[in-house]
Amino acid sequence: MNAPAERMMGTLLLPQPYVLFLGDVTVAGYAKTAFGLRDWAAEKCVGEIRLDGATVTTGLDEMTAAEAQARGARALLIGVANPGGVIPASWRASLVEALEAGLDLIAGMHMRLSDIPELATAAQRLGRQLIDVRVPPAQIPIANGRKRSGKRLLTVGTDCALGKKYTALALAGAFARRGLDVDFRATGQTGIMIAGGGIPMDAVISDFEAGAAEILSPDAATGHWDVVEGQGAITHPAYAGVSVGLLHGSQPDVFVVCHEPGRTEMIGTAGYELTSIEEIVELTLVLGRRTNAAIRCGGFSFNTSAMGAAEAAALMAAETLRLGMPVADPMRGGAAFDALVESCLA
């Protein structure tokens, strides 16, 4: 996967590589961001920094901020989140130490780095950046709907939080292994950290939502692919606006529907049944044709992490027959995933 050749105004661009900061974490689930970075952007991570009491590790080399800087790190990335998204007082001395070692700070927590006076003062004194990946950049334009050059794939879903980011990353990786020129385009905070840039689409002001999607995947060479991380679901009663703006602005040539077998109800809503896969396909085609008449479905990505291997394989084989297009779990890979990749590129 190539590093983005350029970033237009209006998208975030993060200083890389990172050193991953784990704080004093003792619950592996709180370090999901650090694990995501290790798994999907190992080439961007020089090591990890842990405080006394931490029991979780990414397995990367442990080091100090000064050592990370000497190994080329340009930023300390907070890879751990407490419930509540607070940056505890016990971390602050280490974060100031990183600023003093010449590193910028990157976080995507609820509490903003720049709202902590100690960090704001130190960053200003040292001329360092405090980057919050939940904050969209300024100067996002209104969408103009102009068709852009290059090819685009968007992952969509039957709901939130079921694998749109991982599917996009896996497809972008597979495209790159086939020798294609491809960029993963990130639309959420973890994706942005992995990609080293992007736009947090759910934090963009509504009027600029499609415009943000347009500048996220700019004009490109004819054979170039942008694989865009989807958000929400076009039938989610809270997030459909985000999903539709992203669909219109992305102008995808191909979309892949992400789904979690067994999920029956949409996240965060009062008894909303999950929309069927077929309905999502139909509605994505109807809405997506508005900005790209050639839009088509490339297949289906199932998150089968709660199932055994045999059960998952049987289900996906049956669903491939029923839906008439490849169904695969990118985390399991194999021939099914190859078929999905081929279908997307067909």
Min dist. Cβ of residue 227 to its own copies (A): 21
* Member of 53, 88, 223, 237 binding its own copies (CB under 8 A): 237
Give the position of tokens 């600023």.
99
Phi, psi of 45 (to 5 degrees): -120, 120
Min dist. Cβ of residue 161 to its own copies (A): 14
Q: Which stretch binds its own copies (CB under 8 A): 10-18, 99-107, 216-224, 229-237?
A: 229-237
Contact yes or no for 256/299 (Cβ under 8 A): yes
* Member of 239, 255, 300, 337 binding its own copies (CB under 8 A): 239
* Sign of the four-CA dihedral 314, 319, 321, 327: negative
Q: H or E stretch including 277?
A: helix 277-288
* Member of 193, 195, 283, 328 binding its own copies (CB under 8 A): 283
Q: Which stretch binds its own copies (CB under 8 A): 168-176, 190-198, 246-254, 311-319?
A: 246-254
Q: Which is nearer to its own copies, 48 or 209 (CB)?
A: 209
Q: How far apart are CA 301 and CA 159, in angstroms?
A: 13
DSSP state of 317: H
Q: Which amino acid is at 18?
A: Y
Strands 197-198 and 12-13: antiparallel
Angle between the N-to-C axes of helices 240-250 and 209-216, in degrees from 0 to 180, rounded to the nearest 10: 40
Q: How far apart are CA 157 and CA 152, in angstroms?
A: 17
Give the position of tokens 């396909």.
281
* Member of 209, 226, 319, 329 binding its own copies (CB under 8 A): 209
144 binds its own copies (CB under 8 A): yes
- State the maximum Cα–Cα separation within the chain, in Å, rounded to a whole number: 62
72 binds its own copies (CB under 8 A): no
DSSP for 98-148, written as a single string? HHHTT-EEEE-SSS-GGGSHHHHHHHHHHT--EEETTSPPS-PPPP--PPP
Q: Which is nearer to its own copies, 154 or 244 (CB)?
A: 244
Q: Which is nearer to its own copies, 92 or 134 (CB)?
A: 134
Total binding residues for its own copies by CB under 8 A? 37
Q: Which is nearer to its own copies, 206 or 222 (CB)?
A: 206
* Member of 51, 176, 180, 287 binding its own copies (CB under 8 A): 287
94 binds its own copies (CB under 8 A): no
* Member of 8, 51, 126, 240 binding its own copies (CB under 8 A): 240
Binding residues for its own copies (CB under 8 A): 142-146, 201-207, 209-211, 234-235, 237-242, 244-246, 248-249, 268-270, 272, 283, 286-287, 290-291
